[in-house]
Chains A and B, each alone.
Chain A
Amino acid sequence: MTSLLAVLIDGSIYASWLFLVAAGLTVIYGVMRILNMAHGSFYAIGAYSAASLVGWYFNNGIGPAWISYLLLVGAALVAGLIVGVIIERGLLRLMYGRDEILMVIITYALLLILEDTMKIVWGVNPYFAYQPYSELGRTSLGLLKVSNYDLSLVGVSAVIGLVLWGLLERTNTGKVLRAVIHDREIAVAMGVNVRLMFTITFVIGTILGALAGALTAPAISVVPGIGIEVIVLAFAVVVIGGLGSIGGAAVGALLVGLSRAAAVHYAPEFELFVIYGVMSLVLAFRPEGLFGRTLARKI
């Protein structure tokens, strides 16, 4: 019984983290049709920015702990905004209209450049921002003790998912974005500034990637290479859910999170395999993913 409870809790926490990581990737693909390999670097930049800022805040004993949570989010917003605008305006804008495969190669090159840039900026030593993680304490559920910070990630993830849904479904900008998703040429003909929509989308995707990194930073040692590791998982999640689908990313994350937690508790030897096992199974029956569509795509 304890193990079953642990699977549900661990699975939900891991799923919320996966959704945070995958949301930006699927938003960018949904609107721009760019399979962004550099998304892992946005995650790492968010983690480094947050760890640097929060580390500086606590090392200087400036103020109360709750401000550090605002700093985590603030660091991600600023880092994501700056990096997103520079990359979209300075690089991707010159490449629009090219083949999707070429865009994969371009963003992969970008990932390599950003990985080395991060080493120049932050070096190779680890960064820590553990205070926000430990400050929230933990909750005891029988033999199981769960970090409140981890539990709060489930709520944060749900809020981000709802905000994204609201943005797309309940705002004028969202309507325009959906028009671009359904038919870019018709949208242009109707007077939509598609390039501006691309910039907005890419910056939102970058901020989401950076936010995932920033919110993860307190629980990990921020070291070179963390972005490379998450991009593989993020791809698995969005492929399961269907490329470009926010709802798909959420369901994909939940499926992977719960499957992995069950494997860890009941069959640890299959833990490495289970994520890709789920992905293979889904793709065998639905090659476009659970919520993917072959023609009209929706996010």
Chain B
Amino acid sequence: MKNNKTTFSKYLVSGVAALALTAGLASGASAAENGKFRIGIVTFLSGPAAGPFGVPSANAAKVLVEALNKGELPAPYNKIGINGAEIEAVIIDEAGGATKQVEEYRNLVQRQKVDAVIGYVSSGDCLAVAPVAEELKTFTIAYDCGTSRLFVENSDAKYMFRTGLDASVDNIGAVRYLAATRPDVTRLSGIQQNYSWGQDSWADFTAAAAKLLPESEIVEEQFPKIYQGQYGAEISALSVKRPEIVHSSFWGGDMEALVLQANARGLLEDATGLLTCGEASLATYKDQAPNGMIIGARGPFGAFAPENELNTWFKGVYNAAYDLDPVYPATKMAQAILGLKFAAENAGLADKEIPTADQLAAGLKGASFPSVSGTVEMARGNGHQAMQGISYGEYHYEDGKASIVNSVSFSGECVTPPEGVSAADWIAQGFPGAQCN
């Protein structure tokens, strides 16, 4: 009986080991073995950031991957898939926080065997994932997060890239827009979500205003809780200080609620609103936002994207699929995918050869590639961070159609700190070396 038990145990252990080995081999089958290039796409599919950011981004990824696999993009992106290999996209939810995203990232790389990862709206997620990308040697593009710390804390990054812009550019660009269009404003105010995004945005804006609008003063600042939704007291506090400009880095439902309530109460008639993320809700304001409200798109994205063949094509397919124009998160996702394709096809590989992470990194580092937003220069962060210009303009609603008027663009060299200089230092020193057209 004992012998039988021992034998059974041996069989059991052997069986489990064999199953584990088989499972390991199965999960270890790389995407390259089925001839496809597998991309992990990470963005918010649930929670408050899904509507304004995640869903437009995921939609952009879907239409772009589908068109790439059919070879339907304009040149130079008309080769099928990635270097001739069909793309397989694995789209996962970014919700759940940084710790969960690190687990999800490991799962994508180690179990799902993706060849590259594109993702992350949240700066916290970007910062958490960046060292893991280096550890796992996986080519990764941060497409939207804006933290200035990404390539400060990961200055020796080899596999981590960002094709979107640093958040400091948003607020330097916003102040430059005020200086160019409203140089006489003196009474500035702000309302920001009370977390690092809002606090950093306000710090950059006020520091830049001190240099570029030296006559101005901050008359009121408010930091309500994120997702608060009700801003009655904050709007009153701002109103009684009679500001000329109300700056806000609000996004999503918070931003839409703020505009709705502030407009109904006359704050946005008495003062000009300046929303750094305002373009994302261009289609939803309708007559509830006043004409003349200043909006941005965190770069030359969405409605600010220039007219070029790629952008015209992208807007066409996106509109055909979703009956909407792409907003800035959608453009940024398209830009990241095009950056990946450019990197792969610049690696000098044979047709349909799947590039390695090292080849992809070499292909994108310091590169200059055409995109839906114009030419992208990977000119900062040691060749890992995109540098582009930024545009701001005024919201205009007429005959049931929203548009942007009085748009002003600033070059990348005008709003981006030089290599190796932090945004805070560059602003404090008075923007040395800035080249503004």
Contacts and interface: CB of A to CB of B under 8 A. Distances in A.
Is A bound to B?
Answer: yes
Interface of A: 2-3, 6-7, 9-11, 13-14, 17, 119, 124-126, 128, 130, 133-134, 138, 140, 143-147, 149-150, 216, 219-226, 229, 260-261, 264-265, 268-269, 271-272
Nearest to A128: B284
Contact of B237 (A119, A126, A149, A268): A268
B275 to A, nearest CB: 14
Contacts of A220: 229-230, 253, 256-257, 260
B233 A146 contact: no
Contacts of A3: 237, 240
Given A221-B257, A224-B50, 9 more contacts: A3-B240, A10-B232, A119-B46, A138-B264, A143-B240, A145-B265, A224-B46, A261-B233, A271-B225
A134 B234 CA distance: 19
Contacts of A146: 236, 265
- Say what secondary structure dominates the interface of chain A: helix
A178 to B, nearest CB: 34
Q: Of A133, A134, A145, A222, which is in contact with the most chain B CB atoms at under 10 Å from its CB?
A: A145
Nearest to A263: B233
Interface residues of B, number: 41
Nearest to B54: A124
Contacts of B221: 268
Contacts of A144: 236, 239-240
Given A124-B50, A144-B240, A261-B233, A223 B252 contact: yes
B382 interface: no
B225 A272 contact: yes
Q: Of A14, A124, A261, which is in contact with the most chain B CB atoms at under 10 Å from its CB?
A: A124
Contacts of B46: 119, 124, 224
B117 to A, nearest CB: 22
A272 B194 contact: yes
A130 B227 contact: no
A246 to B, nearest CB: 22
Contacts of A138: 264-266
A265 B236 CA distance: 8
Given A6-B240, A130-B260, A226 B223 contact: no
Contacts of A261: 233, 236
A226 B253 contact: yes
B242 interface: yes
B242 A143 contact: yes
